[in-house]
Amino acid sequence: MRDERSRLLDILEAIENVEKYFVLGKEAFEESELIRVWMAHQIQIIGEASANLSAEFRHQHPQIPWARIIGMRNILVHQYLGTDWQEVWDTAVTDLPKLKTEAQRILRQTS
């Protein structure tokens, strides 16, 4: 079974995977289905890893909007044909950098 640290590392890896492509800019994102789907998939991974963190762990770190992260994953998985690509972009460029900072901070504290 994967522990909390492993799941945080999964989250950070997925964020880094998104970063590889959002640096190309919004125009590349809008023009490339592959980039859009890649980013959405990585956000799904982040949501899945978050959902598999213990409730106690999530409760200990309320500064991270776990319910929103997991909710985004659920929307992407279950309502794929209705994906709001602007929301995916906004998540990638606005929310993920904040999540990255917090996840790194938590990892440093638990090392």
Contacts of 40 (CB under 8 A, 6+ apart): 76, 83, 88
Q: CA 79, CA 87: separation in Å to the nearest integer?
A: 13
pLDDT, residue 108, reads 94
Q: Give the residue numbers marked as catalytic.
A: 73, 78
CA geometry: angle 10, 12, 14, nearest 5 deg: 70
In tens, the pLDDT along 49-99 reads 999 999 999 999 999 999 999 999 999 998 867 889 999 999 999 999 999
* Domain edges within the chain: 4-110
| Percent over 90 (pLDDT), the chain | 89
